[in-house]
Structure 1
Amino acid sequence: MTLPRTIAAAATLLAVGAPMFTPEPSAAANAADRPSTVSWNACPEYTDEMLAWLGVPAEAVPSFHELMARTECGTISVPLDYDDPGGERITVALTRLKATDQANRLGSLAVNPGGPGGSGYLMPLDLSMAPPGVTPVGLELNERYDLIGFDPRGVGYSTSYDCADLGPGGRHPAGVVTEADAREMYAAVVAANRECSQSNADFLAQLTTVNVAHDLDRIRAALGEDRMNFLGVSWGTWLGAVYRSEHPRHAGRVWIDSVAPPEFRFDEFATVRSNAVGRDFTRMAGWLAEHDEYGFGTTTRAVEKSLARLAAAFDAEPRVFTDLDFVFDGAFVAMAGDQDAPTWALAARLLADLRDATGPEAPQSVKDLFDEPDRGDPPPGTPRLFNETMNQAVFCNEDLGDRDFDSTWADYRKALKKYPVTGRLRGFVPPCAGWTIPPEPVRLRDSGTPLVLSGHRYETLSPYEWTWDMHDEVGGKVMTVNDDVHGSALMSPDCAGRIAEFFETGRVGSRTCVGAPSEPEETGTFAFAEGSGFRF
């Protein structure tokens, strides 16, 4: 529920084919459709128990309630299918945190945390709370902007749907993944995707970024705004680019952070991300070479070889402990090698302790990694921060990459050869295999409206080169964040200050900012991630 949690829940895209571009819904469509209006209603109530389950720190609860007291909640009705505007309607839920300085108000600013499938309903509040010593960017923006949160179609309080099964979850089989293992998982994914996509095809086919962009423009119109400004992270960057292309006359200032690529195809997406992870692993190895207390070597190359041997040893004989229900194999070494810089020391300590472990019980550092209390089921009424079905549908409705087993398995084997440690994080099963709804490409263009793209120089979830690829397609100004932390610009004081300045003045200032603190510590959150992933 805090900003880092929301962005993470929105955690890691694009297409080839005949381009499709619709600058604005047609006049005929508008004539056949009734305009959207906001139905304002009482906001949901959030108990302290609900907020604790959502991850709001106890010290931030009073701030949350204070902000919630200022928040307005409502819904709008929009066409399920914009090609059939007189047909079925669905509901999109939104919130508004009115500008505190109404006399100098600049307009409305919509926000999105990514996903796709992430809830943005409470994001105006998320942006307005921050750790001690940090001025929340939301409070700065909220002085002169109404902050607009919303749940995209298919998410949270908006009209949604859940498939019964989205395919196999959890970890891969322990040790080296064989072709037989991969084919078995491929068949399971095909079956699950086929069942899901056919279970409510009329609704699922309309879960697209273009339609969410149209919904956002309906929110703009319903609020009586001539232009909608936008701040998006992760998949929210793709939404911002699409909105700016689809509705150029109504897009205001747009800032997108941790930028998506301008084409959505999973095969290329997985390759670029795999290369970025390999590069960042070498950075981590260089840091380890300067910290020989972990015992992995004193040169970058020596560390890389040492960790490759450790991964191979864990694959040959996975580590298990009597007090943990987890198998440590080479995949865990790969995940440790794909951590943000602030977590390198924690990852190094875990690997060193696992390497040296001799007893039946896990080392204390490893036990600490898993020593989180079971939160149990959410209290009744707790909002869902992520919808897996919407995530699957949006990606697969736009992915024009290869979906056959043989090409994906071949790419996986190439990644393993190129990156002996981290290559296994590249997916070996195409996530959209078996999805029966035909994908449609999306065409972007440079509409000329104010745009800033902030890319993170060393990031692996949204690799830095995507920032420039997107820039080449849609224009704008690039700001480089000198860190590797996904979506950190909204949380880092120097970067957040640039964001606030841009939305107030339209100027960017310096084209670089520091980003997240990079000094590694043996504390923090270890990111468990395997495969090419769906989340941005």
Structure 2
Amino acid sequence: MSGAAADRSGSPDLSRYYTQKIKWAACEGETEAMAEAAGHAKDVRCGKVRVPIDYAEPGGGDVEVAMIRMKSSGSGEPRGSLLLNFGGPGGPGVSALAGSQKEFGFLSKDYDIVSFDPRGVGQSDPVSCGDLGTDPLDSGLGEQSDDPGAVLAELRKAAKECEDKSGPVLPHMGTVNVSRDLDVMRQALGDKKLNYLGFSYGTRLGAVYAAQFPKKVGRMVLDGVDTLTEPVAEQSLATAEGRQTALDNFLEWCTGNAGCVFGTDVRAARDGMVKLIQDMDAMPLRSMEGEEFTGQDVVGVLSQALYSRQAWPALSQALGALLADGDPRALIRMSGGLMGGVDTDGPRVDVPMDNMSAALMAVNCADDPDRPDAARIEKEVGKLRTEFEEASPVFGKSMLMPVLLCFGRPAGTDYIRERVRDVKTPKLLLVGTRGDPATPYRWTEETARRLGSQAVVLDNKGDGHTGYLGSVCVHDKVNGFLLYGETPKSGSSCPVDPKAQE
């Protein structure tokens, strides 16, 4: 018996999970279509692995975790698998890899490249909050925020709606369980060690795995390093501030170029963006099929597009079409093709439209042991709303919701905050980007200190969320580490890419 099957005396028997083999077959549906659009459908296969809903009681039912594999392109035997997590929490890895195989083609010379939809995400028993929709603020909570009693009632209703629509997996979301799923996948793939590349939230997952299974860690890269210590409220506030800074930088760039739809005045452009979102929340656009496109939908696209400076020209054109002609199609298309090509707004087979936001809330709440009581919510909700709106008039509203919606859910684990530290693993490569709008560079430094002497930091001086797909220097150093074991000296840096500033 290996891995978690016998990690503690008297632990439940997990041998049936650790002895399974993955049956790979041609991908179907949306995954197949995305792989064909990327021009590599013949190179990928899909499969599933079973994991227990509850590791403490493995007889209580299973989750089938959807997986995808891009076979190694090398002529010899691959060194094993390289598992990818594209972030979130709530990001589906199957569609992400299906649409972005060329970005990992160099790594596939030595590895089978593998990704997966974590439990509760995508094709792996997706959670949902039902009628709350893709933006829980649509429930009316935003308009009632000045009435603490109404806020509490709405939050209780929201928590119950999520519970009813998500099924038995919801209480067992969270990174500690996904990490254990990751170890089952490692064994099912036939790998003695986990080789891993995690982006954004995927760095939290990698760090937790390093703490839970230190002897099973192979070569691990954490890019766009998440916090292990800050509560949900502080994480969300930092993200709102980072995204607002990225938006301000985009608008400064846009107004400095001919043809910017917002004109040439930066302050007016900022006011114009806020007004656009407010107007579209009040009067959403409707497609021919009757579907609404709201201001918060614009915020969602901005949140993705601002992760990459290379996306700014396309974003400027898409916003121009929206403002000039009331045509959101280019903006909607931008939600695909970013960070792995995940199409968050396109049709999904059996995956609720709100799955990403519902999964994000479920995981972040499960990972956070802090849970304010009703009295504190009543006392502080007005203050929190003001604080988030001041941090970002554009992103504050959407970033406040993951904080408030933890109310009504059980308190999360303290494992990450208390026990993910001083890992006894091989060297881990941590990549932090100075201009990252989602994971501030200080989180890279803080996480490196917590993980201890095995954490090697690569300082990327550029902009954008994560470094591997946006910096040639980071790309080369990560490839060198994963393929050849070339570990950069801790504290070494990568300069700003000249092409990224054009």
Normalised-by-shorter TM-score class? 0.7 to 0.9
Determine if contact 2:237/2:399 at 8 Å carries over to the other structure.
Answer: yes
Q: Aligned partners of 2:249, 2:50: CA distance in 1, in Å?
A: 49
Alignment of 1:352-431 (within 5 A): 363-364=324-325, 369=330, 378=347, 389-401=358-370, 403=372, 404=377, 406-417=379-390, 426-427=399-400, 430-431=403-404
Distance of aligned partners of 1:426 and 1:450 in 2 relative to their CA distance in 1, 3 Å threshold:
same
Alignment of 1:502-517 (within 5 A): 502-509=481-488, 511-512=493-494, 514=496, 517=499
**1:461 corresponds to 2:438:** yes
Q: Aligned partners of 1:335, 1:157: CA distance in 2, in Å?
A: 25
Q: Could you report, residue by residue, the CA deviation over 1:195-251 in whole angstroms, capped at 9, with x for unpaired residues?
A: 433677753222221111112112223344321111111221111111111100111
Percent identity over the alignment? 24
**1:145 corresponds to 2:111:** yes
Post-superposition offset of 1:508: 4.0
Q: Aligned partners of 1:430, 1:89: CA distance in 2, in Å?
A: 29
Distance of aligned partners of 1:479 and 1:409 in 2 relative to their CA distance in 1, 3 Å threshold:
farther
**1:477 corresponds to 2:456:** yes
Give 2:405's aligned residue.
Answer: 432
Give 1:497's aligned residue.
Answer: 476
Superposition TM-score, scaled by structure 2 size:
0.74
Post-superposition offset of 1:262: 1.0
Give 2:132's aligned residue.
Answer: 167
Q: Could you report, residue by residue, the CA deviation over 1:333-380 in whole angstroms, capped at 9, with x for unpaired residues?
A: x969994544556666788999xxxxxxx524866656869x998486
SS at match of 1:430: helix
**1:258 corresponds to 2:224:** yes
Q: Considering fraction of residues, name the structure with more helix.
A: 2
Distance of aligned partners of 1:229 and 1:249 in 2 relative to their CA distance in 1, 3 Å threshold:
same
Q: Aligned partners of 1:389, 1:309: CA distance in 2, in Å?
A: 30
Give 1:36's aligned residue.
Answer: 18
Q: Aligned partners of 1:264, 1:126: CA distance in 2, in Å?
A: 33
Letter in 1 for 2:183: D
**Deviates most, 247-256 or 428-437:** 428-437
Letter in 1 for 2:475: A
Letter in 1 for 2:445: W
Post-superposition offset of 1:101: 3.9
**1:113 corresponds to 2:86:** yes
SS at match of 1:489: coil
Tell me how many residue pairs correspond in the alignment: 468
Post-superposition offset of 1:31: 5.4
Q: Aligned partners of 1:321, 1:34: CA distance in 2, in Å?
A: 51
Q: Aligned partners of 2:346, 2:392: CA distance in 1, in Å?
A: 39
Determine if contact 1:76/1:219 at 8 Å carries over to the other structure.
Answer: yes
Determine if contact 1:92/1:151 at 8 Å carries over to the other structure.
Answer: yes
Q: Aligned partners of 2:13, 2:459: CA distance in 1, in Å?
A: 44
Q: Aligned partners of 1:171, 1:34: CA distance in 2, in Å?
A: 39
Letter in 1 for 2:193: R
Alignment of 1:179-328 (within 5 A): 179-180=145-146, 187-197=153-163, 203-263=169-229, 265-284=231-250, 286-287=252-253, 290-291=256-257, 303-304=266-267, 306-307=268-269, 310=272
Distance of aligned partners of 1:199 and 1:473 in 2 relative to their CA distance in 1, 3 Å threshold:
same
Q: Aligned partners of 1:321, 1:381: CA distance in 2, in Å?
A: 26
Q: Aligned partners of 1:193, 1:323: CA distance in 2, in Å?
A: 29
C-alpha RMSD of matched pairs (Å) = 4.7
Determine if contact 1:307/1:421 at 8 Å carries over to the other structure.
Answer: no
Q: Aligned partners of 1:37, 1:104: CA distance in 2, in Å?
A: 22
Distance of aligned partners of 1:142 and 1:169 in 2 relative to their CA distance in 1, 3 Å threshold:
closer
Letter in 2 for 1:38: Q
**1:81 corresponds to 2:54:** yes
Q: Aligned partners of 1:353, 1:117: CA distance in 2, in Å?
A: 29
**Deviates most, 310-319 or 456-465:** 310-319
Give 1:14's aligned residue.
Answer: none
Letter in 2 for 1:363: A
The answer for unaligned runs of 5 or more in structure 2 is: 335-342
Determine if contact 2:196/2:206 at 8 Å carries over to the other structure.
Answer: yes
Give 1:526's aligned residue.
Answer: none
Letter in 2 for 1:455: G
Post-superposition offset of 1:414: 2.9
Letter in 1 for 2:154: A
Determine if contact 2:94/2:117 at 8 Å carries over to the other structure.
Answer: yes
- Larger Rg, first or second structure (1 or 2): 1
Q: Aligned partners of 1:229, 1:98: CA distance in 2, in Å?
A: 15
Distance of aligned partners of 1:187 and 1:339 in 2 relative to their CA distance in 1, 3 Å threshold:
farther
Post-superposition offset of 1:463: 2.4
Determine if contact 1:98/1:147 at 8 Å carries over to the other structure.
Answer: yes
Distance of aligned partners of 1:199 and 1:463 in 2 relative to their CA distance in 1, 3 Å threshold:
same
SS at match of 1:490: coil
Q: Which has the higher contact order (CA 8 A, sep 6+)?
A: 1
Post-superposition offset of 1:103: 4.3
Alignment of 1:1-12 (within 5 A): none
Q: Aligned partners of 2:88, 2:23: CA distance in 1, in Å?
A: 27
Q: Aligned partners of 1:408, 1:152: CA distance in 2, in Å?
A: 32
SS at match of 1:194: helix
Determine if contact 1:101/1:144 at 8 Å carries over to the other structure.
Answer: yes
Post-superposition offset of 1:506: 1.9
Determine if contact 2:204/2:225 at 8 Å carries over to the other structure.
Answer: yes
Distance of aligned partners of 1:516 and 1:87 in 2 relative to their CA distance in 1, 3 Å threshold:
farther
